[in-house]
Amino acid sequence: MKIVAVRSYLKNMALTKPYTIAYNTFSDVSLAFFEVELENGIIGYGSGSPAEDVVGETTEQTAANLKTDFVQAFVGRDIRQFQQIIFETIHQFPHLPGTQAAIDIALHDAFGKFIGISVANFYGQKVKSLPTSVTIGIKSVAAALEEAAGYKALGFKILKVKTGLDVEEDIERVVKLKEKFGNHFKIRVDANQGYTISHLKKFIEATKHQGLELIEQPMPVGTEKELLALDRSDRKLLAADESLKDPQAALQLASNEKPFGIYNIKLMKCGGIVGALGIANIAQNASIDLFWGCNDESIISITAALHVAYACPNTKYIDLDGSLDLAEDLVKGGFEIVDGQMQINNAPGFGFNLN
């Protein structure tokens, strides 16, 4: 089945509410969209939303790359060669994971629709559903408690609390959340590289009895060896995020003494499903758990992440709330959230529909 057209465009989308992390505040997001049309009328959809601070690629670059002659030359190719096209894309756009992801996702969606099965079923679904965390940005204790109460009313059971600006305030925020909500919420934290080793030790010690599920990327990229000063039991709770961009990094972090016990995989860091599976396979062989995350993204790429996450037996955590922050989106469906649990619908491809 031949590809007869490819299309791409850039859309700026407002967020439902601004949020703050350790190094920035966001109120809107630019998303690059990519379409692959087959001769029978099937259209596969992809989206790119790289974080420039992490991977060095802007969404504007993604959109420009999707209009190049290389991409236009997909026309006439057979969709059954989609994995070969992805291989060529990775070599054409090295270190540009937003571009790779948009193409990878669209080709997977088109292929799944063509053969009539979901992408999760194509790779073999191992996980039925998991609860996603919802994110509370860096804010006052009172504001964090108010936002958490709203999430409780919506049925969510896991909070990811952004930290990394002031360790004392971070400790207070976590303690107060636990005091107010007890065991209703499991709590994860994400320092976005904001701590020093002394800050991290202080935070771990002060929150030992709060039952934290994990601590995501507590220190800057390049300081991974300093984490080896922590006890092995503490390192098991640490999740690599910005330190983990591709399978090469996954292999490096899995060797000898492991600084992280968990790998956070984001399609926008590793270039889509093919890159994600490369990381996942390394993690499985190294007995490292998987934690699937996201940026502010369309339902398109969030659903793609869910499909590949549920195809990996070592998936333990998901943090795929990025599309919930968008005031609008190109598509709807793909997944549903029931009592905080994210479930895919197993329709062909990724199972979403145009809005």
* CA–CA dist 162, 188 (Å, integer): 9
> What pLDDT sits at residue 21?
64
Higher pLDDT, 142 or 29: 142
Choice among 21-35, 78-92, 147-161, 277-291 with the minimum mean pLDDT = 21-35
Q: Burial, 12: exposed, middle or buried (Cβ in 10 Å; 0-12, 13-18, 19+)? A: exposed
> What pLDDT sits at residue 24?
65
> In this structure, what is the dihedral angle of CA atoms 342, 344, 345, 349, given to the nearest 10 degrees?
160
Question: In terms of residues, how long is the chain?
Answer: 355
What are 209-223's pLDDT values in tens digits? 999 999 999 999 999
pLDDT at 43 over 60: yes
pLDDT at 22 over 70: no
Residue 273, φ and ψ in degrees, nearest 5: -70, -40
> What pLDDT sits at residue 281?
97
Mean pLDDT of 29-58: 96
DSSP codes, 244-262: --SHHHHHHHHSSS-S-SE
Class of domain 121-354 as given by CATH: alpha beta
Q: What percent of the chain has pLDDT over 90?
A: 92
Choice among 149-153, 156-160, 322-326, 348-352 with the minimum mean pLDDT = 322-326
pLDDT at 315 over 80: yes
pLDDT at 23 over 80: no
pLDDT at 49 over 60: yes
> What pLDDT sits at residue 28?
80
Q: Where in the chain is the domain with CATH 3.20.20.120?
A: 121-354
Q: Amino acid identity of 62?
A: T
> What pLDDT sits at residue 19?
62
pLDDT at 20 over 80: no
> What pLDDT sits at residue 39?
98
Q: Where in the chain is the domain with CATH 3.30.390.10?
A: 3-116
Rounded alpha-carbon distances, angstroms, from residue 351 to 100, 113, 153, 194, 248: 21, 9, 28, 38, 31
Task: Report residue 15's pLDDT band, with 50, 70 and 90 as the boundaries.
Answer: confident
Nearest Cα neighbor of 334 from 308, 294, 302, 297 is 302
> What pLDDT sits at residue 105?
98
Q: Burial, 34: exposed, middle or buried (Cβ in 10 Å; 0-12, 13-18, 19+)? A: buried
* CA–CA dist 306, 293 (Å, integer): 10
Mean pLDDT of 240-244: 96
Q: How far apart are the first and last CA of the chain?
A: 26
Average pLDDT, the chain: 95
pTM above threshold 0.85? yes
Which residues pair with residue 10 across a beta bridge? Answer: 32
Fold of 3-116: Enolase-like; domain 1 (3.30.390)
Higher pLDDT, 17 or 249: 249
